[in-house]
Each structure stands twice: as C-alpha cells, then as structure tokens.
Structure 1
Amino acid sequence: MKTNRTDYVSFQHVKKTYDGKTLVVKDFNLDIAPGEFVTMLGPSGSGKTTCLMMLAGFETATHGEIFIDGTPVNHLAPHKREIGMVFQNYALFPHMTIAENLAFPLKVRNMSTREIAERVENILSMVELSHVANRYPKQLSGGQQQRVALARALVFEPKLVLMDEPLGALDKQLRETMQMEIKHLHEKLGITILYVTHDQDEALTMSDRIAVFNDGEVQQLAPPNELYESPSNAFVAQFIGENNQIVGQVQSLEEQYCQVAVGSYQVQAKSVQVVNERALTTLSIRPEKIVINPQGSELQNRFVGRVNEMIYHGDHFRLIIEVSGFASLVVKVPNDSGQGLAVRVGEQVEIGWRKQDCHALDYQEQNFQEQNSSEPSRNADRDGAREEEAL
C-alpha cells in the first residue's frame, strides 16, 4: 500500500496510549515535504518525543498510520526504515575509534571495504574531524562527540534523519555553534530532518516549520516568524519567546479588531480567538513591541506607568513597568546609543503599542507552567540500544 502524497513523511490520525486510558498523543497529523526541516517543540510530557519514537519504530502507534516515502511503516522494524538517528547522549561505542564508529552502520549494510573507507573519510571531512579518526570517544570534547554522532547518522546517506534533543548536553555557546552546523549541513545535503527540542530559540533558529505541542496535541504548525508574530492561542504566545499576557473582557468587535476592558482601561487588539462580546480574553503583547515615551499618533494604545525595575542586558534594557490597576509589563528597549536610557527606576513614563501588535487570544486563567512528564523516562542505556537497533 502506498499513499498518493508527495510528502516524504506523513502522520495520519496517529494516537498513542500506554495504559489504554490516557492518550499521550491525540489525533496527530503532520506531513513533511522532502528536504524540509521540521521541529517538534513543547514542554516535557507534551508528546513530541513519543511521535519521534513512533516514526523511528521504537514505539508503536495505538491508532492511525505513519508513512515514509508513501509506504506504511507501523509494523516495519527500525533498522529497515533507513533512518539516521541522533540522540542527546551521543550513543557512541566507547570501545571503537571514531572511524570505526562511523564504519559500523556501513558494515551492517554489507558495503565494500573500499566504499566504507571513502564514505568515512568524506563524512569526517564534512564535519571537520579528519584529525580525530583514530581517537576514541572519551578522548573528544562534548562538541566533537556530537559532531561524530551527527556524522554517523549521515554516513549511510539516509533521506530522513531524526534528532532527539541532540544539543541538550552542550553549553550555550557550543549549542549555538552546533545549531548553525546542523542547519548548514541540512541545506548542503537536502535531507529531511525531524527534530525534537524544548528549546524555543533552537527551534526558531533552525526550522522551516515548527509544530508546537502541548498535552498530546499540536497547538500550531507554522514557520518560525508566523509562530512568533501571529500565535494562534495563548499557550503558543507564552511558550514562544517572552510575552506579556493580560486578561480582559471584550467590549466590542469590529472586523478584525476588538476593544477589551482591562480594569478601567480600554485596549485595542487584533481578534484571533475572540468568542463574542463580553467574553474573557488573554491579550498578548511582545516586550519589544512596547514603546517608551512614544511620539506621534500611530500607537492606538497609550498608558502611563511607573518604572519598577531596569536591567542592563548589553544589547537591550529590560524594564518592568507597572500601570496602576492594569499589570506589570516587561518592556525591551534597544541599547542603540550605548549611553543608557533617559529613564530611571521610580519614574513615571508613557508607554504605548499598536493595536496590530496586540493579540486577543483564548482566555487562560493562569500562565503556562511546564507539565510533569507523562512520557516514559529514557536514559542513556536505552538511547544506546535504540541507536544500535536503528543502525
């Protein structure tokens, strides 16, 4: 059986339960085009890793069908799916040299000695590690080990590579460097990548599209800029980037905008998930969209507040401004002059923002809190076993 789809990977109405009662994945649908980089992003226990493991063959879907290149794979063994896998803990064989680690997946595919040597040499050159071919994993840094793990996933030239939190063990600077290396390798090789992370910055930096997960469901699937600029609900707005959320009551609706009462104030906002007049809504406004001491009349929302806190972040200042009876708002002001801001803690300032930068979303009584994981815990030994099975 094959599908008529042009997508390389397709999840169709996939569900997963471990106890027969609670669904950790609820009616998951996702199509990934050939050569696309898609990231599944969400808090622990949201179902993203379970979806990845069902695609890899380490978990079985309770309901629905998964296709790779038009062929159903629900009952296909992991090693027959021809998928490259990269885990957080690297899962390298400690008793093998780097060259031997890279040769292993080629040997199990019965390639000739000459072809194995050529491919290992080429992939080591690609990840700039030719000089460590005869070393053992313990003799390499964390960043080098992760590059070897990435090289091993690519050495047999799979069309699909799955990555499960591959950079989670690295420090911030090295993680950012590896993000760009993976992104450039993806662009160079044209492979299809499905990536799992809970790091929003990582997802925004690397992905063509991002699927935001929560409680076993995809909340929004969109390119990074769309997720950030036009969140579809309050969860996505809070999970992607820093965000001010304010609860108010809808007073009126007019075309694509609405007027919302927050205490004694009226706020104009873009209607995204507004049920009707008098309904409660969560207003979302990004800190960098708020202007300090605005000039001109292009800002429809204007308020006076008190500067409670000001923190220097190098390229910007982070201010906490309290509007009486309203909220404490986070405001980011670029440090474009390098000479600081002309405001001080305790001073009154005017702030404002455009109505199109403020989104009226679904009502949430409490801000997002990361959930306890409902997915089974995984350790280094299990990752290693799965890596070997996939190879």
Structure 2
Amino acid sequence: MALQKEYVSFQHVQKTYDGENLVVKDFNLVIEPGEFVTMLGPSGSGKTTCLMMLAGFETATKGEIYINGTPVNNLAPHKRDIGMVFQNYALFPHMTIAENLAFPLKVRKLSADDVERKVTSVLEMVELSHVANRYPKQLSGGQQQRVALARALVFEPKLVLMDEPLGALDKQLREQMQLEIKRLHEKLGITVLYVTHDQDEALTMSDRIAVFNNGAVQQLASPTDLYESPSNAFVAQFIGENNQIKGVVSQLDSHRCTVSVNDLAIIAKPVKVAGVGEPTLLSVRPEKIVVEPEAGSCDNELTGLLRELIYHGDHHRLVVEIAGVGDIVVKVPNDSHGERSFVAGRQYTIGWLSQDCHALDCQKVQAEHEVAA
C-alpha cells in the first residue's frame, strides 16, 4: 500500500504531568514519507516528550497523533511498527550481536530462514558482519551504537525514532556516525524523527528542524533557513554563534529599519519588531562581518578596539570593542595565500550589510547552547 503524504502527524498535542503545567503546548507537526526531521532544543523544552508520545511510551493529554493516517493515541507501542534507537544502546548483554538483532524478528514470529537472512543483510549494511558472534561488552561504543541502529532497522520499519543516539560518543566518532545515519536514511528511504540538543548535529543531518523552547516550537524550517533567517531571538541565539545588540527602532518600513543604539544608528532587516519606539534585539553572525571594508560596501560601519585575537585553524576569531555597543565577535577566514595580520590593541573598522542583520524580539533567552540531555 502506498504511503500517504502525511506519514506522521501531530495535531494540537498537549502534555501535562500535574494537570497544570504544560510540558508540550499545542504541538503541530507533519512529517512526510522519507523525511529526516529533527527536534532540537535545550533540556526540558518538550522534544523528548513528543518523541515518547509518538513511540507510545507517553500518552498525550490532549490532541491526536497519526502514523500513516491511523490514530495511535490508544495503540500499544509494540503495535506501532516503529524502530527505536536510544543513547544508552539498550542491547541485551547476555546475547551475541546476531542474537540481539534476531530478537525483534523472533518476536514478530518470522521463520528461522528469514531471521538469518535479515540479520546477515543488516550486519553487512552497517559493516559489522565480523562481530556477529561477539557480545556487546566486546565492542567499542561506536560499534555498539551501529548495532543498536541495525536492530532498529532489521525488521524494516517505515519509521525510526532516535533519542540522543550519539550523545555518549566522542566528537570524531559522533561526526562519523552522523554521516552513517544520514547515508542509511537516504539508502533505505525511511522516515526519521530525531531528538538532539546538538545544533551542529541537527544542521548536518536534517531535512527540517523543529526548534523547541518551553514546550512550544519556535521555528520549523530547513537548516539553511533556520541559520540564515531565524524567526525570533531564541532561534538566533540557539542556532550557531551570533552577536546580539539591544536597541530601539527609530524608523521602520517593510524592508528595512533603523535602530538606535545609544548614539549610533544601525540599519537592519525587520523580522520580528513591534514598531517604532519599541525595543529590539539585533542579530548578526560573526562570519557576516567584514574587517576594514571597502568604502560604501557595507550599510553599517563601526570602529572599535581589537581586544582579542584567537587562532582557530581555518579562521581567526576577533573580539572588537565598540563604544556604546559592546563586544562584537568577528570570524575572518585564514587566507591560504598569505596570513592576514591583526594586532590586538589597535583600532579597526568593521562592517556588515543590512540584510545580514536581523531585528528581532527581545524575549528572554535560555542559557546559550545548553548541553544537558
């Protein structure tokens, strides 16, 4: 039977544990067949709760959840035909790798021949055929995670849920596994709903990202749109590094606004501003800022003192102190044809285009890049 266009659908879903405080507030999300959607946000934002409601381990207080057009609120977890991958692997320590992979197939009462064929196939897919007779404790963390991924795929589910699956791995191995998961997703055409607090992970792997905060989706968009066009101050701060400048809107039209920052006037793109005379938060990415720009090439030019200069391999990170504004972080790519010279303690002019400077709301933002699970 052909899949419906809306393979997963959350419709006005809410969740409360005490009857008063909503952990998830009016959550709506449609995932199409074959999509890789990530729910990204800090600890306590509601993303994992949404995943667990879809899996059947939590029950929605209000609203309806559908899988392939079928309501599943009252459907037992084992009847939803969902593959699950967790951070702690959840492998059976007393079973060999082959036995671990065979378990979900035997539960579904497949024949011995089918079990052997599928286990062999999935081990080859994750390049672990040589460890079939080993036990989980005999494998590295990365190998165990690949086994956990294989177990979620062995019974060929159309939907796979992943809850912080790479959180226990080191940086290099985590990046390798990101590419491995994405490769398998594209090869198998499965639908994936992924939960993480790691922005780089979300940007690398996802077709779309739902950014969570305080039980609500702040923005749902492609990685490029989230990074380049954040819809509010929370998204701008949570996704990547950016400079934030507080000011008051002095002029406003549909395409540009002028923001007063003490005695300075900064031209920006209005995204979420209340109107003339209202406060706003300007957001500009460090890599969008030019040092010593050509005359007239930037809408905004400010001069300040270079306080810090840090070498990061492929770029330098500059911290320029602007009177009346504060510290502005600038990322300057290192030139392979000759390293550019910067001297701390000297004055430099920096500039940026108005379309790279977003005028946003002044909502209070949680601790930047919170890394709790």
1:140 corresponds to which residue?
139
Report the equivalent of 1:344.
343
**Residue aligning to 1:369:** 367
- 2:272 touches 2:359 (CA, 8 Å); kept in 1? yes
Shift of 1:5: 6.4
**Cα distance change, pair 341–370 in 1 and its aligned pair in 2 (3 A):** closer
Deviation at 1:338, TM superposition (A): 6.5
Map of 2:188 onto structure 1 = 189
Query: In the TM superposition, what whole-angstrom CA distance separates every residue of 1:321-353 from its partner, at most 9, and x where no partner exists?
Result: 100111201110001236433221101000000
- Comparing both chains, which one has the higher relative contact order based on Cα–Cα distances under 8 Å and sequence gaps of 6 or more? 1
For residue 101 of structure 1, what is the aligned residue in structure 2?
Answer: 100
Unaligned runs of 5+ in 1: 379-391
User: Are residues 1:149 and 2:148 paired?
Assistant: yes
Q: How far is the alpha carbon of 1:255 from its aligned partner? A: 2.4
The DSSP-based 3-state class of the residue aligned with 2:283 is strand
Contact kept, 8 Å, 1:10 with 1:66, in 2: the verdict is yes
Distance 1:241 1:45, change over 3 A: same
* Counterpart position of 1:92: 91
- Counterpart of 2:258 in 1: which secondary structure? strand
1:52 aligns with 2:51: yes
State the alpha-carbon separation in 2 of the partners of residues 262 and 229 from structure 1.
23
> What are the superposed Cα offsets for residues 69-114 of structure 1, whole Å, 9 maximum, x if unpaired?
0000001000000000000000000000000000000000000000
Q: Is the 8 A contact 2:13 2:24 kept in 1?
A: yes
Contact 2:320 2:327 in 1 (8 A): yes
Match of 1:389 in 2: none
Q: How does 1:136-285 map to 2 (within 5 A)?
A: 136-285=135-284
Letter of the structure 1 residue corresponding to residue 114 of structure 2: E
CA contact (8 A) 1:45 1:372 kept: no
The one-letter amino acid paired with 1:123 is: V
Letter of the 1:37 partner, please give it: F
What pairs up with 1:378-389 in 2 under 5 angstroms?
Answer: none
Question: Cα RMSD between the aligned structures?
Answer: 1.6
Structure 1 residues 367 and 310: CA distance shift in structure 2, 3 A = farther
Amino acid at match of 1:63: K
| Amino acid in structure 1 at the alignment position of 2:198 | D
Contact kept, 8 Å, 2:209 with 2:222, in 1: the verdict is: yes
Aligned residues: 371
Q: How far apart are the structure 2 equivalents of 1:342 and 1:156?
A: 58
Q: The residue matched to 1:111 in structure 2 has which SS?
A: coil
Residue 141 of structure 1 aligns with an amino acid whose one-letter code is S
Contact kept, 8 Å, 2:298 with 2:351, in 1: the verdict is yes
Distance 1:40 1:202 in 2: 11
Q: Tell me how far apart the structure 2 counterparts of residues 207 and 85 of structure 1 sit (CA, whole Å).
A: 17
* 2:13 match: 14
Is 2:227–2:240's contact at 8 Å kept on the other side of the alignment?
Answer: yes
Q: Give the aligned partner of residue 114 of structure 1.
A: 113
The 1:294–1:316 alpha-carbon spacing in structure 2 relative to 1, beyond 3 Å, is same
Q: Determine the C-alpha separation between the residues in 2 that align with 1:109 and 1:17.
A: 34
TM-fit CA distance, 1:296? 3.9
Shift of 1:298: 2.6
**Separation in structure 2 between the aligned mates of residue 116 and residue 5 of structure 1, nearest angstrom:** 29
Aligned equivalents of 1:188, 1:216: Cα separation in 2: 33
CA distance in 1, matches of 2:370, 2:177: 29
- State the partner residue of 2:355: 356
Secondary structure at the counterpart of residue 38 of structure 2: strand
**In structure 1, what is the equivalent of residue 78 of structure 2?**
79
Query: How far apart, in 1, do the equivalents of 2:231 and 2:365 lie?
Result: 16
Residue of structure 2 equivalent to 1:386:
none
Residue equivalent to 1:335: 334
Tell me by how many angstroms 1:369 deviates.
1.3
| Residue 311 (structure 2) aligns with | 312
5+ residue gaps, structure 2: none
- Give 1:367 deviation, angstroms: 4.7
Q: Distance in 2 between matches of 1:167 and 1:338?
A: 38
Structure 1 107/311 Cα, relative in aligned 2: closer, same or farther at 3 Å?
same
Provide the rounded CA distance (Å) in 2 between the counterparts of 1:124 and 1:337.
43
Equivalent position SS for 1:310 = strand
> Would the aligned equivalents of 2:237 and 2:368 in 1 still touch at CA under 8 Å?
no
Q: Is this contact kept in 2: 1:44–1:370, CA < 8 A?
A: no
Counterparts of 1:57 and 1:194, CA distance in 2: 14
Equivalent position of 1:286 in the other structure: 285
Alpha-carbon distance in structure 1 between the residues aligned to 2:129 and 2:339:
47
Cα deviation digits, residues 21-79 of structure 1 (max 9, x gap): 00000000000000000000000000000000000000000000000000000010000
Q: Secondary structure at the match of 1:45?
A: coil
Distance 1:346 1:370, change over 3 A: closer
- Name the residue aligned to 1:39: 38
TM-score by length of 2: 0.97
**What SS is found at the alignment partner of 2:195?**
strand
Contact 1:165 1:197 (C-alpha < 8 Å) held by counterparts: yes
Report the secondary structure of 1:166's partner residue. Answer: coil
2: distance between equivalents of 1:116 and 1:371?
Answer: 43
Q: Take 2:337 and 2:192, find their aligned partners in 1: how far apart are those partners?
A: 41
